[in-house]
Every structure is written in C-alpha cells, then in structure tokens.
Amino acid sequence: MVEILIKRYNNRKLYNTAQRCYVTLEDIANYIALGHTVKVVDHESGQDFTTTILAQVIVDQERRLGGLLPRSLLSRLIRIGESHVNELSESLQAFLAPQEFVNRHIRLRLERLKRRGDLDESEFERLIMGLLDPEIQIEGAKSCQDSEDESKEVHSEIEQLWQDLEALERAVDALARPPKS
C-alpha cells in the first residue's frame, strides 16, 4: 500500500506530488479504492487537510451517485454535535478496524502502567509481545474475506483480545485502588 501525498493550493486545486499532476476528488476516491493511503496537506502551511478532503470525496460521490449515505445517518451526525464526535469516531474505528482498536487500547494501558512504575521494561515488552500478536495486527493480517474459516479464527482472536483487555483493565483497577488497612 502506497501513501500518496496530495498538496492543496490556495485556489483549492489538488496536486499529486508523485505523478506531478493535478487531480480531482474522483481521482482521490480511485486511489483509496485501489488500497492506497492518501494524505492531503496545504502547500504553504503544511496543515493536514486529509479528513476535510475525504469528506468532500464522500459529498462528491453522493452528488454523482446519489443514495450513498442515508439521510437519517447524515441528520444524526449533525445532531450529535461536537460533544460526541470523539465517541463516534472511536466507535467507528472499533467497528471498521476492531483489531487495531483493541491493540491501540492495550498498548495505551500498558504504557500507562509502565509510566506509573507498575511495569518494568522487560515485563512491558513481554506483555506487548503476548497481547499484541503480530499475526492479528492490521499491518500483517491477511484479508479476512479469503475464507469463512479465517473469518471465524479472526473473530475468535478478537474475542480473546477483548477478554485479555478486560483482564488488563481489572488489573489496572486493582493497582489503582489504595491498599486496605
């Protein structure tokens, strides 16, 4: 998978730095459909506009194709407002990439324990290696659509990760409680 760097100019034109040509929102949609990662930055400031441009890609597809997103979903997104956007984002990430979501949360909790001094470096590394099995990380995972057996196996691994995460949360909670006198 290749990351394609797109520069956004003041006139809102988008420029593919690798191919040295201007591109459209449809071109960006095609890059993503082919499995590429797209990063869009402002030409002058370097500010990241990726999310904004991806939203524009969705709007463009909705305009061209129609019916891409149900009206009720769009209305609900607007009603949610800023206060719940982070929760929505986390939920979507958990739905779209559950292994990555679980791995990120396991790593965050282990790092917190390490910072507090509840885990030394060797124990931290041991837990990382044991809990974040490279075979189920997104970077190294095979496509789960290849076979139904692989899908069931991945689902089982995800369930195990959730159980490990819950056990880790209980351990963190136990460590955070003051000792009984």
pLDDT tens across the length of the chain (181 residues): 688 999 999 888 999 999 999 999 999 999 988 889 999 999 999 999 998 999 899 888 888 887 777 777 777 777 776 666 667 676 766 666 777 778 888 888 888 898 988 888 888 888 888 887 555 444 433 433 444 455 566 666 666 666 666 666 666 555 555 656 5
**What are the Cα distances from residue 111, in Å, to 39, 129, 154, 158, 171?**
28, 13, 25, 21, 14
- The edge-to-edge listing of strands for the beta sheet with 21-23 is 21-23, 14-16, 3-8, 37-42
The full set of domain ranges for the chain reads 3-69, 96-176
Would you give the DSSP letter of residue 46? -
User: How far is 176 from 118, CA to CA, in rounded Å?
Assistant: 10
Match 């790593």 to its residue by tokens: 107
Q: What is the pTM of this model?
A: 0.49
